[in-house]
Homo-oligomer: A and B are copies of this chain.
């Protein structure tokens, strides 16, 4: 380890991987102060918080609300004063916040003309300097050029004789940008504040990226990421430090708050113990669980209700809900019809028993009969009628007991529109809406075999092995309407995540006609997908604003 600044003092970083709440500056500053106290007790010199930690991230159009901007404009100085008042003035705090730029006009009113996504450096009761993020991601789920103006100056600070360069998230991802400028500054450490959402396999990409940047600045580099879910995004934390040789000096855990330390002393560095990363499957499961948990907590809700069909989707979502909220906060309802197999009710009952959640049975036969005695619908309309009666029952429970209904549809179904509007898709949150059906099975098997939970093998074996069916008419099987899920999911992955043309997707099981039919199903379901609950983005391209295809379009 090279120490360019040739100091023999040591420098201890506290890595504060926190979970903030969008818009609750009081709660976020309280969290920041709690972690700052812990860091000071540990004799840290610097504590690093995530991008936009004071406001939460992403804040979307709150940035345009005058009362929000007014409150944020004083928050960093308010935090500086509180740190000083609580005896933490010697600690250098690096924390992200919306920077509101006031420009008084001729009428002495305050007009805000330009906002920045900034990193504040605070010590001794004052804001020492501010770095403004240069690169504002505007793609996929990001729209920062809508919200912020780009900064144009690099920022370095010196603490204990060490020179530290600052960057925020997207700054790291652009070749020849911020970091290239910092490379000329002979810095000892690169510190980046991040709000980087989880997607499958992203930790490896981040490691490679930061290794490149560490080489570029020829210094160990810190990647501090927030943790917690916000709307369609799950931030996985997993903060780390890497050196120019690619050695991982510290790895913090994913999907949980964490405070770890790293000390640089001349040529030596030392970190508190690192956390091995979980398997890909486990990461996805944890992302879904954290997504649901934070959706509930951040919306002041505690309990959920969902339909238990005996099928794999509802079984997995129920298990996730119990893991996220506790069995006592989960209400499962079996809603059998005369078409449902007996096994379905048995499987649902077994699942609820295994999970220890609330369970009730509401047969739909009388309701459906009463309605259809009047409406006389058949075929698809009758299938949908059953599904909508189930949706109506779930919403009645939700209203009656103040519960959030969970949408249990998976990504394969959402992609091709294989679900009923206002039926099986009702709810406030959709935990597996970015998980393909084949992956649903993988997650269920992984969770069944998890030995670290007090609940093992919650999902009945028959749920895992029987053919998938919506059970809306006699002998219905998903595979009568759709290609086998392994084929369908491979097609969808190549078409949606990889953006391939149909002609470039080679699957022996699918003819050109089959592929065109699937693409038309995807297109025709766009209006349905626009009316769905939020759910955690897991993949490179979730079916949310990540993939913003018009509803009215005649290309496909």
Q: Which residues of A are at the interface with B, using a C-beta cutoff of 8 A?
A: 21-24, 27, 56, 58-62, 64-68, 70-71, 138-139, 143, 145-146, 229-231, 294-295, 298-299, 362, 366-367, 370-371, 373-375, 377, 380-381, 384-385, 388-389, 391-393, 395-397, 399-400, 421-422, 426, 428, 499-504, 527, 530-534, 545, 547-556
CB distance from A459 to the nearest CB of B (A): 28
Q: Which of chain B's residues have a CB closer than 8 A to the CB of A534?
A: 527, 530, 551
Q: Which of A59, A504, A548 has the most B CB atoms < 10 Å from its CB?
A: A548
Residues of B within 8 Å of A554, CB to CB, are 21-24, 27, 298
Residues of B within 8 A of A65 (CB): 499, 555
Contact B392 A374 (CB under 8 A): no
Check if A24 sits within 8 Å of B555, measured CB to CB.
yes
Instruction: Point out which of A70, A295, A377, A397 has the most chain B C-beta atoms below 10 A from its C-beta.
Output: A377
Q: Which residues does chain B contribute within 8 Å of A24, judged by CB atoms?
A: 553-555
Given contacts A66-B499, A534-B530, contact A553 B22 (CB under 8 A): yes
Additional A-B contacts beyond A23-B554, A389-B392 (20; CB < 8 A): A21-B552, A22-B554, A62-B555, A66-B500, A67-B503, A138-B146, A231-B550, A231-B552, A294-B552, A366-B373, A367-B367, A367-B374, A370-B370, A375-B400, A384-B399, A391-B422, A395-B422, A421-B426, A531-B531, A531-B533
Interchain nearest-CB distance for A449 vs B (Å): 32
Q: How far is the CA of A366 from the CA of B21 in the complex (A)?
A: 46
A-B contact pairs, 23 of them (CB 8 A): A22-B555, A23-B553, A59-B553, A60-B548, A62-B549, A64-B499, A66-B501, A66-B504, A67-B502, A138-B143, A143-B548, A299-B551, A371-B396, A375-B396, A377-B396, A377-B399, A384-B399, A385-B392, A389-B392, A395-B422, A428-B527, A527-B533, A534-B551
Q: How far is A67 from B499 in the complex, measured between Cα atoms in Å?
A: 9
**How many of these chains are in the complex?**
2
Complex contact B370–A396 (CB within 8 A): no
Q: Given the complex of chains A and B, what is the CA–CA distance between A500 and B71 in angstroms?
A: 14
Instruction: Give CA–CA (A503, B70) in the complex, Å.
Output: 13
B298-A61 in contact (CB<8A): no
A292 nearest CB across to chain B (Å):
12
Nearest chain B residue, comparing its CB with the CB of A544:
B530
CA distance A71 to B396 in the complex (A): 49
Are B395 and A550 neighbours in the complex by a CB distance under 8 Å? no
Q: Which residue of B lies closest to A551 (CB)?
A: B231
Contact B367 A371 (CB under 8 A): yes
- Given contacts A399-B384, A400-B381, are A553 and B56 in contact (CB under 8 A)? yes
Closest B residue to A381 by CB, please name it: B399
A401 and B366 alpha carbons, distance in the complex (Å): 25
Instruction: Please name the 6 residue pairs, one residue from A and one from B, whose CB atoms are nearest each other, closest first.
Output: A23-B555, A370-B370, A381-B399, A24-B554, A23-B553, A298-B552
Q: Is the CB of A550 within 8 A of B230?
A: yes
Cross-chain contact B531 with A532 (CB below 8 angstroms) = yes
Nearest B residue to A531 via CB reads B531
**Cα distance, A502 to B65, chains bound together (Å):** 11
For A399, the chain B residues whose CB sits under 8 A away are 377, 380-381, 384
A295 CB contacts on chain B under 8 angstroms: 552
Chain B residue nearest in CB terms to A375: B396
Which residues from chain B contact A532 at a C-beta distance below 8 Å?
531
* Complexed CA–CA distance, A550 and B21 (Å): 11
Residues of B within 8 A of A59 (CB): 550, 553
| Also in contact, A23 and B550, with CB within 8 A (given A138-B138, A145-B145, A399-B380) | yes
Least CB distance, A496 to chain B, in whole angstroms: 11
Q: What CA separation (Å) do A374 and B396 show in the bound complex?
A: 11
Nearest residue, chain B, Cβ from A385: B396
Is B552's CB under 8 angstroms from A299's CB? yes
Given contacts A67-B501, A370-B370, contact A550 B60 (CB under 8 A): yes
A375 proximity list for chain B (CB < 8 A): 362, 393, 396-397, 400
Closest B residue to A533 by CB, please name it. B531
Q: Write out the residue numbers on chain B whose beta carbons fall within 8 Å of the beta carbon of A66.
A: 499-501, 504
Q: Which B-chain residue is minimally distant from A501 (CB atoms)?
A: B67
Residues of B near A421 (CB, < 8 A) are 395, 426
The answer for the CA separation of A294 and B549 in the assembled complex, in Å, is 17
Point out the residues of chain B lying under 8 angstroms from A380, CB to CB: 399
**Residues in B whose Cβ lies below 8 Å from that of A553:** 21-24, 56, 59, 62, 298
Alpha-carbon distance between A396 and B67 when the two chains are bound, in angstroms: 45
A68: chain B residues at CB < 8 Å are 555
> Which B residues are CB-close (under 8 A) to A371?
367, 370, 389, 392, 396
Q: In whole angstroms, how far apart are the Cα atoms of A281 and B56 in the complex?
A: 42
Residues of B within 8 A of A426 (CB): 421-422
Report Cα–Cα, A149/B391, bound state, in Å.
45
Q: How far is the CB of A137 from chain B (nearest CB, A)?
A: 10
For the complex, what is the distance from the CA of A550 to the CA of B399, rounded to whole Å? 23
Nearest residue (CB) in B for A398 is B381
